Amino acid sequence: MSNRKIWGLILTMVIVFLIVLTKFDIVKPVNTFVPNREVKLTILATADLHGAIPTKLVEYVQEERKKDKNLILVDAGDFFDSTNSVLMTQWFRLSGPNSNHQRRTPPIVREMGKLGYDAVVLGNHEFVSNDKDSLDELVLDFTDYGIPVLSANLYETSNYHAHYVNPYIIKEIETEQGIVKVGILGLTIKEVGESNGPRELKDLLQYKGTLELKDIVQEVNSKRWPELLRYNGADIVIAVVHSGEESLKSKDTGNRIKELAQSTDGIDAIVAAHTHVNIPEHKYKNKSGETVIVTQPGRYGEYISKINFVLVKENGRWTVKDKSSLTQKP
Ligand SMILES: [Zn+2]
């Protein structure tokens, strides 16, 4: 036998041997691809902007967006005001609720629209600095930018007590590991008025017979909103609430975030507002003993809240592996 034939025979035998090994699972095909089912998700939240978004805050959000594709931006209310903005002061004078001039989009809505908020929640200033017609327009202004306005405890007094705006949205985030559905529930403090006048929305002259706000805690517990959001597909639930953590004065009974966190099930994190304080992260236990994170980004865009989620897919469902929050000066 020639050398060439011998080598040919050896090669054939090696190939046959390898085929046999593979066939009988003696040599397993190497599969180094282990799917990583972990996903990171970020929620950025502003609150109590009172008329303007500082340039630094705009730049901060734009930078975060470049770094992080799985990012949601929400606002917890009290943006419709002139305290923090010359442009809004002019707007109220020329085009506001009491003006005869043709309405233009409020500068703050344009700023929020350009920044691409995923949802905004109504605060008390959206009511007290407004009247019903102008509030209707405000909601439409946001609609023009494709931004949903939320408040689950806000009802029309007539019209069979329909919701005035959307109670919640379920935002789908397309991650490399698959779609994550984030439920965002909006709620507004019932006591919208200043301390020297009528407190509740239903008692404000410009809303009489049109709108009313129900108590935040009662609303969530009676309607079981977190449960409903999960039933409708939400993997996690964030409550964005225009209300403070707790009331220090017996007069201001509307600040009920702590009570909301402790008396409800199914909320993963809460963005608080209204009291203008900076809360990086407070932790409470809900009815089932699970942790609820509370964060509040101060006022005027001086801080922004950042909630970080690590989710992992188990048995076809996303579960929270880790969550934390902080506030940052942009
Ligand atoms: Zn407020």
SS (H, E, C) 149-178: EECCCEEECCHHHCECCECEEEEEEEECCE
Q: Could you give the CA distance from residue 309 to residue 325 in angstroms, rounded to a whole number?
A: 9
Helix 86-95 and helix 107-115: axis angle, to 10°? Answer: 130
What the block records as the tokens of 319 is 């579960």
- Please give the pLDDT value at position 261: 98
Write the CA distances from 13 to 1, 3, 9, 18, 23, integer angstroms. Answer: 16, 15, 6, 9, 15
Hey, what amino acid is at 9? L
Determine the distance separating the centroid of ligand 1 and the alpha carbon of 41, expressed in angstroms.
Answer: 28
Determine the distance separating the centroid of ligand 1 and the alpha carbon of 178, expressed in angstroms.
Answer: 37
Q: Could you give the CA distance from residue 217 to residue 230 in angstroms, rounded to a whole number?
A: 18
Q: What residue numbers bound the domain in which 28 lies?
A: 1-33
Residues 20 and 149 reside in one and the same domain: no
Q: What are the residue ranges in the chain where pLDDT is below 50?
A: none
Residues 158 and 195 reside in one and the same domain: yes
Q: Give Cα 328 distance to the centre of its chain.
A: 17
Residues 11 and 120 reside in one and the same domain: no
Determine the distance separating the centroid of ligand 1 and the alpha carbon of 135, expressed in angstroms.
Answer: 16
Residues 162 and 64 reside in one and the same domain: yes
Determine the distance separating the centroid of ligand 1 and the alpha carbon of 258, expressed in angstroms.
Answer: 17
Determine the distance separating the centroid of ligand 1 and the alpha carbon of 50, expressed in angstroms.
Answer: 9
Q: Residues 127, 133, 135, 140: what is their CA dihedral angle, to the nearest 10 degrees?
A: 170
Residues 205 and 310 reside in one and the same domain: yes
- Please give the pLDDT value at position 315: 84
- Which of 266, 279, 264, 270 lies closest to 238 in space, CA to CA? 270
293 near 239, Cβ under 8 Å?
Answer: no
Determine the distance separating the centroid of ligand 1 and the alpha carbon of 288, expressed in angstroms.
Answer: 30
Determine the distance separating the centroid of ligand 1 and the alpha carbon of 48, expressed in angstroms.
Answer: 7
- Please give the pLDDT value at position 19: 59
Determine the distance separating the centroid of ligand 1 and the alpha carbon of 49, expressed in angstroms.
Answer: 10
Residues 88 and 236 reside in one and the same domain: yes
Residues 14 and 131 reside in one and the same domain: no
Determine the distance separating the centroid of ligand 1 and the alpha carbon of 215, expressed in angstroms.
Answer: 15
- Please give the pLDDT value at position 161: 87
Write the CA distances from 68 to 41, 75, 257, integer angstroms. Answer: 8, 19, 29
Residues 114 and 94 reside in one and the same domain: yes
What CATH number corresponds to the domain at position 147? 3.60.21.10
184 near 148, Cβ under 8 Å?
Answer: no
Classify 138 as helix, strand or coil.
helix
Residues 23 and 112 reside in one and the same domain: no
Instruction: Indicate the number of domains in the chain.
Output: 2
Q: Tell me how crowded residue 230 is: count the other CB atoms within 10 A of its CB.
A: 17
- Please give the pLDDT value at position 256: 93
Determine the distance separating the centroid of ligand 1 and the alpha carbon of 120, expressed in angstroms.
Answer: 14
Classify 283 as helix, strand or coil.
strand
- Please give the pLDDT value at position 264: 95
- Which of 302, 313, 263 lies closest to 35 in space, CA to CA? 313
The radius of gyration of the chain's CA atoms, rounded to the nearest angstrom, is 26
- Please give the pLDDT value at position 70: 94
Determine the distance separating the centroid of ligand 1 and the alpha carbon of 98, expressed in angstroms.
Answer: 21
Classify 199 as helix, strand or coil.
coil
Query: DSSP letters along 96-108, please?
Result: STT--SPP---HH
Sign of CA dihedral 78, 79, 85, 90: negative
Residues 8 and 81 reside in one and the same domain: no
Residue 226: in which H helix or E strand, if any? helix 225-231
Write the CA distances from 282 to 8, 274, 300, integer angstroms. Answer: 74, 16, 21
Residues 190 and 297 reside in one and the same domain: yes
Determine the distance separating the centroid of ligand 1 and the alpha carbon of 273, expressed in angstroms.
Answer: 7
Helices H / strands E in the chain, number of each? 9, 14
Residues 13 and 123 reside in one and the same domain: no
